[in-house]
Structure 1
Amino acid sequence: MTLLGERPRAAQHSIDWHRTSGRSAEHSGAERATPAPAALVAISHGTNSADGQAAIAALVEAVTLAHPELAVIGGFVDVQQPDVAASLGAVPPDIAAVVVPLLLSAGYHVHVDLQRETSAHDRVTTVSRALGPDDRLIDVLEHRLRADGFDKRVPGQEIVLAAAGSSDARAVHDCRTVGALLEQRLGVRVTVGFLSAATPRLACAVTAARLRGASVTVSTYLMAPGFFFDLTRAQSVGADRVTAPLLLPGETAPAPLVDLVVDRYLEAKEQAQIF
């Protein structure tokens, strides 16, 4: 099954950490090594769900296949192994690292956990922005909605964007921004409902939308299946449909997400002047 112009799967490429400059020894007197590009260390939250683990792994694999010139290393900020320290430790010591959080908003994990973990390493390391907000996330959300039969032309519809929630106001703001972008894209009222830490809670947002609209769709703003997706379905009583998360096991990761991860890497690399 292809999704949103997915990239075709390709044969696995090995990483050549040091490449010659292209001048022959005859002209230069010796081969000169060119440092490999900074490693892309993709750090997700982590989950006990086998489906969630497979879905995240597919995204990391898709980034690797799309950019074989990069060393792409996966890791986790919680629940799973390898943790951040072990993931950074897997990068050769003479190579810089750019940590890309596979997180939809910038909360405690981005601002505190990853900053602390990366500062403890004796290497050139920087942390990129979280994945959201970004229009490419809206592309995937819209695709999931259409796949579940949502038609924006039908009158009287409402969407509730189901987000994990955070005690960090910056993360909550990020989620609300995504809700506003989705509303602008579809021309349908979108309310953000949170599963924890922030308000309105998803169940309350669904109930309020049901009182206003003839049809309610819950758009799942989560990276992959797991605890929070189970909670989304449990708290969506009264909704007509609940869409799948952005990533699903058995599917190649959507091309917009692959491009977004790489763009976060390139942006952070440039800002940190890592070449």
Structure 2
Amino acid sequence: MTPVLIACSHGTSSLEGRAAISAVVEQVRLLLPHVAVEEAFVDVQQPEIDDVVQATSPRPAVVVPLLLSTGFHTKVDIARAVTDAGSRAVATVALGPHPLLADLLAERLRDAGLAPGDAVVLAAAGSSDPAASVDVAEMADLLRERIDAPVSVGFAAGAGTRIADAVAAARDAGATRVVAASYVLAPGFFADVIARAGADAVTAPLAPDAAVATVVVERYLAAAASARATAAA
């Protein structure tokens, strides 16, 4: 059977954020018309990921985190739901880092008028898990390959430099303007933190955009192919 795609996001109380994530899920459905696509959450919203994974039984399932980095929700919440389902379900890695997302960030920065003399702060949600910082650092490297501006990293929460501090440091280093590149998927709490961090310009969250949906599809297809190969071995 073709695996169900379970698109699992964090969940948000922001209506605009909910709409952005739902739009990504609808884009995925259009790209995969023959695949059942279900939506799930790890917090705030319903249905919870554990319940959705169980409800797809006995069909195989691939959980694609609508999350940009490795962290607690990928390693604990999603991992638990998949483990409880046994060999029937698998989870992919987070959406980032990914070249398509770097392309999208670079496009958003150009739309924000990025100019010579400007500096960029890649503004991420953050996590207490060191793996998240590694993922964001890799994303910053991908972004540096695509724009002609210095790129530093700031986090809204968790470990690492806070976004406001990264903005201040870039300004102190002589930047004409400091542009915060929002490395969050949708409007909501972390997008609001980024907006208040003092940058001269702030790009929009990544979703909804076709690039995000394309990465979701890529993650799903790779995991489904791997599961088929394992079953046939």
TM-score normalised by length of structure 2:
0.94
C-alpha distance in structure 1 between counterparts of 2:204 and 2:140, whole Å: 16
Alignment of 1:35-74 (within 5 A): 35=1, 37-74=2-39
1:260 to 204, 215, 221: 215
1:118 aligns with 82
Shift of 1:122: 5.4
1:40 is displaced (CA, Å) by 0.4
Aligned residue number for residue 160 of structure 1? 121
SS at match of 1:185: coil
Q: Residues 96 and 274 of structure 1 are in contact (CA less than 8 Å); yes or no, is this contact kept in structure 2?
A: no
What code does the residue aligned with 1:218 have?
Answer: A
Aligned to 1:196: 157
Which segment drifts farther, 265-274 or 71-80?
265-274
Deviation at 1:186, TM superposition (A): 0.6
Q: What amino acid is aligned across from residue 181 of structure 2 in structure 1?
A: S
Q: State the match for 1:223 in structure 2.
A: 185
Please give the alpha-carbon distance, in whole angstroms, between the structure 1 residues aligned to 2:180 and 2:76.
Answer: 30
Task: Check conservation: 1:38, 1:274, Cα contact below 8 A.
Answer: no
8 A Cα contact 1:158 1:209, kept in partner? yes
Kindly provide the amino acid, as one letter, of the partner of residue 118 in structure 2: Q
Structure 2 residue 208 is the aligned partner of structure 1 residue 271: no
Q: Which has the higher helix share?
A: 2
Q: One-letter code of the match for 2:62?
A: V
| 8 Å contact from structure 1 (residues 107, 166) kept in 2 | yes
Q: 1:274 to 1:135 in 2, by over 3 A?
A: farther
Amino acid at match of 2:88: V
Deviations 1:152-171 (A, max 9, x none): xx321100010011111111
Structure 1 gaps of 5+ residues are 1-34, 248-252
Q: Distance in 1 between matches of 2:177 and 2:97?
A: 26
Q: Which residue of 2 aligns with 1:102?
A: 66
SS at match of 2:122: strand
Unpaired runs of at least 5, structure 2:
none
Root-mean-square deviation (CA, aligned residues, Å) is 1.4
1:15-49 CA-to-partner distances (Å, cap 9, x unmatched) read xxxxxxxxxxxxxxxxxxxx3x1000000010000
Residue 85 in structure 1 maps to residue 50 in structure 2: yes
Instruction: Check conservation: 1:159, 1:217, Cα contact below 8 A.
Output: yes
Q: CA deviation at 1:119?
A: 1.5
How far residue 149 of structure 1 moved from its aligned partner, in angstroms, is 2.1
* Residue in 2 that maps onto 1:127: 91
Matched length? 229
Separation of aligned partners in 1, 2:4 and 2:145:
36
Contact 2:53 2:81 in 1 (8 A): no
Distance 2:16 2:51 in 1: 23
1:170 matched to which residue of 2? 131
